[in-house]
Amino acid sequence: MAEPVTAVQTVSAGKRPFWTEQRRSRLTAYTFISPFFILFAIFGLYPIFFTIYLSFFKWDALGPMKYVGMKNYDLVTSDPMFWTSFTNTLIMGVMGTIPQLIIALLLAVMLNSAMTRFKKTFRVLFFMPNITSIVAVTLVFSTLFGNNGMVNWLLHQFGMESMAFNSGWWGVKIAISTMVMWRWTGYNAIIFLSGLQSIPLDLYEAARIDGANRRQQLAFITLPLLKPFIVFVTLISTIGSLQLFTEPYVYLGQSGTGSTRQEGITMVTYLYSEAFRNGFFGTAAATAVMLFIITIIFSMINMWVSGRMEGDTGGGKA
């Protein structure tokens, strides 16, 4: 900008070199960020487009591909099992996510309060479930939820009937949602905790001087300022629960053989068994495309709701 006008004129009048200063620095910049884009194109974009392409073909992965038009989508949408997997995913998503977020928030507030001792130990403990192998976790939980397992034993202690956690419509869902909750509650609590720590302490101090009690502080300072974190965690959990796979896959198959019992089948287990058990890669691709669309719809609903919430409180950004 500070360059003299004459300099520009001389450049444009003479033979303009291709490698201008600007182009070079641009090239450098693009080269620096290129690894991501190259890898993304190979491992991200290409599979996405290939999946969409594949969803119009019948293919067993070994023989030739055969164009079938929209038939795969017809087959999937007319399969009652697909719709069972869809409702299951939603139900387990709600059962696994909502209580989980509430518990995570309470845990984070507890951990953040000045009174809790051994904070670091707790933080580690909270995070542990998230790094243990899901397969191992699921095997342990399948013992707990067995016909004569600990959970049924507990139910008996309270004088209740034992539940069929292996085959009951709700039994299976309760068992799987419990595993999801166990695994993610701590993780979300840690995220909430980092959010809580970003809230300036003087706000609380001022509120205390004004006579606000603990509950009022939580409702009028903590929650509004934590909103971006809540929105983030909800979005991630929603997407995560739409992709629920390992828990039902191992829990219902016991040794990882992947039963597709309809009480616990999720959209991804449906997709997986279409592709890798039945060898119908076309319908599996169609399922993937539909899962993609459903995920986008849910994310948009999420964003719309959180946008409205932000509007209500008059833009409560931290």
Separation of alpha carbons 213 and 201, rounded Å: 15
Locus of tokens 């890669």: 281
Tell me how many degrees the CA angle 209-213-218 measures, rounded to the nearest 5. Answer: 110
Residue with smaller CB distance to other proteins, 116 or 257: 257
- Asked whether 284 and 274 are in contact (CB, 8 A), the reply is yes
CB of 85 to other proteins, least distance (A): 13
Q: How far is the CB of 4 from other proteins (least distance, A)?
A: 19
| Residue where the block lists tokens 């055969």 | 66
Q: Which CB atom, from 63 or from 159, has the smaller least distance to other proteins?
A: 63
Closest CB to other proteins among 164 and 207?
Answer: 164
State which amino acid sits at residue 258: G
What letter would DSSP give residue 162? P
CA 235 to chain centre: 7
Provide, rounded to whole angstroms, the least separation between the CB of residue 57 and other proteins: 13
Nearer to other proteins, 192 or 280 (CB): 280
Cα radius of gyration rounded to whole Å, the chain: 26
Residues 53, 232 contacting (CB under 8 angstroms): no
- What CA–CA distance (Å, rounded) separates 255 from 249? 9
Report, in Å, the least distance between residue 292 CB and other proteins.
Answer: 21
Nearer to other proteins, 136 or 305 (CB): 136
CB of 113 vs other proteins, minimal distance in Å: 40
CB of 45 to other proteins, least distance (A): 16
Q: Give the binding site for other proteins (CB under 8 A).
A: 21, 24-25, 27-28, 31-32, 34-35, 38-39, 60-63, 75, 79-81, 139, 142-143, 146-149, 164, 166-168, 254-262, 273, 276-280, 283
What number of residues does the chain have?
Answer: 318
In the complex with other proteins, which residue's Cβ is closer, 26 or 208?
Answer: 26
Contact criterion met (CB below 8 Å) for 245 and 273: no
